[in-house]
Amino acid sequence: MPKIAVIGAGSMVSSRNIISDILAFDALKETTFCLMDIDRRRLEVVGAMAESINRTRGAGARIVTTTDRRAAIDGADHVINTVGVGGFEATCKDIEVPASFGLRQVIGDTLCVGGIFRALRSPPVLLEMVRGMEQLAPEALLLNYTNPMAMHVRAVLERDRRYVYHAAMLDPNTAATLTLAEIHELVDAMFAAHGELIPPYLRAKN
């Protein structure tokens, strides 16, 4: 059965939705969930919630909690990023500081100044996660559940050609439609099709 690592699992709503949705599928009822967060208190609550969902669904999932991101990623088949760097306090600043200048944002986690600063906080953590996957779970599929999604994809894209593959995996529709091998094949075909339009440092295979 698959191992799914949820990084930033202290988010109650995201974790509840992810675990409940996955356990709705019979083929995934014996999944191992490795829930990782740096906040031990929230992680304990989410772990108890996950066990409750497991019982309610009549599933045989294994629930593991950890504060060690590398341990969570190690051997995973899928890694789901739900990290909100800076937590609730940082999110409040994304909304309140622009508001003090008279700038109204609908949400402030994807676009406008709030989204930009959320993006500035998140990519270093996301790129560390990707580096950990290269070492500990090179065949794992990375799914991004954190806004601003487009900026996160760009951060992954700009560092190395290998992360173009990861960026393709971040797209939910692509990940749901194609296998890992097919995603690699598609990306290679796109590189070939666009040729010189692609920056040289991305055209060369590692």
CA dist 164 and 53 (Å) reads 35
Which pTM was predicted? 0.74
Q: Count helices and strands (H / E) in the chain.
A: 11, 5
Structural domains of the chain, ranges and CATH numbers in brackets: 3-85+122-203 (3.40.50.720), 86-121 (no CATH)
CA dist 71 and 32 (Å) reads 13
Q: What is the pLDDT of residues 12-51, one digit of tens each?
A: 899 999 999 999 999 999 999 999 999 999 999 999 999 9
Q: What is the pLDDT of residues 98-152, one digit of tens each?
A: 787 767 767 767 766 677 677 767 777 888 899 999 999 999 999 988 887 776 6
